Amino acid sequence: MGLNRIIFGLFLWGLSAINIYGQDSDNKFELRADMRLPDKWELILETVTEEDKKVFLFMESFRANDYSKILKYNHSLCLCKEDWKSYLIKYDLLETALYLPIALSNGESVDCKKSESIFAKMAEFSGKSSDYINHLKGIWGVEKGFENFLYNYRISIRLIENLALPENCKTLKKTHTVLEGQTLYRLSVIYGVSVESIQLANKLGSSTHINSGSVLVIP
């Protein structure tokens, strides 16, 4: 790719960043002073996740519940960053790959060491821009939701890169995405906390009703 095309790509990315952040007047986090410009892989990702409506909807999902989703993604990164950075060096990967394990797991807990297999699979990528998305598809597998994964991947990278999120893993809130059929009582047993403390942490009052897919703070 020539220099002019790279500059043009960064210009397009800049316009997209404005669309994502420009209207976020109630943003609770400051912008980082050391923002990283997107690398080649991230620019490719940008080109296949450019539908404005979907970008807005996925952005809103990261902002919902007091930014709990992006905090959950960032927590996994915080715990594993040292190991994952070493894998970037070991397999000679671009920075965008650092965020792949958390996007694949949708922010759920990941095993930092076992995640090495994901980086090893990325190392099999030929380097041709036209093959990049297909390679991600191969890592994703046959299950549905690949397009949603791509949007989550793109937006999570930019939010984590651009926002001054907490960097001390021990101070971050633990969260849980409610699965179909789970109850507050079941969660209280899983995490060893009282139903009342979960209600208080999530401003549920005396209600015991929770919806699958919602993200709860676990005190």
Tens of pLDDT, residues 181-191:
888 898 888 77
Q: What angle do CA 162, 154, 105 make, to 5 degrees?
A: 105
Global pTM reads 0.70
> What's the rounded Cα separation, in Å, for the pair 119 and 132?
14
Q: Which residues of 186-217 are buried (b: 16+ CB within 10 A; e: fewer)?
A: ebbeeeeeebeebbeebebeeeeebeeeebbb
What's the pLDDT score for residue 87?
Answer: 96
Domain boundaries, the chain: 3-21+29-169, 173-218
**Average pLDDT of 195-208?**
85
Please state the three-class secondary structure of the chain as a single string: CCHHHHHHHHHHHHHHHHHHHCCCCCCCCCECCCCCCCCHHHHHHHHCCCCHHHHHHHHHHHHHHHHHHHHHHHHHHHHHHHHHHHHHHHHCCCHHHHHHHHHHCCCCCCCCCCCHHHHHHHCCCCCCHHHHHHHHHHHHCCCCCHHHHHHHHHHHHHHHHHECCCCCHHHCCEEEECCCCCCHHHHHHHHCCCHHHHHHHCCCCCCCCCCCCCEEEEC
pLDDT of residue 173: 65
Say whether pLDDT at 7 is over 50.
Answer: no
CATH tag for 173-218 (out of 3.40.718.10, 2.102.10.10, 3.10.350.10, 3.40.50.970): 3.10.350.10
Amino acid at 59: M
Res. 11 pLDDT band, cuts 50 70 90: very low
Tokens of 20: 């994502």
Q: Are 183 and 195 in contact (CB under 8 A)?
A: no
Mean pLDDT of 119-140: 96
Q: Is the pLDDT of residue 21 over 50?
A: no
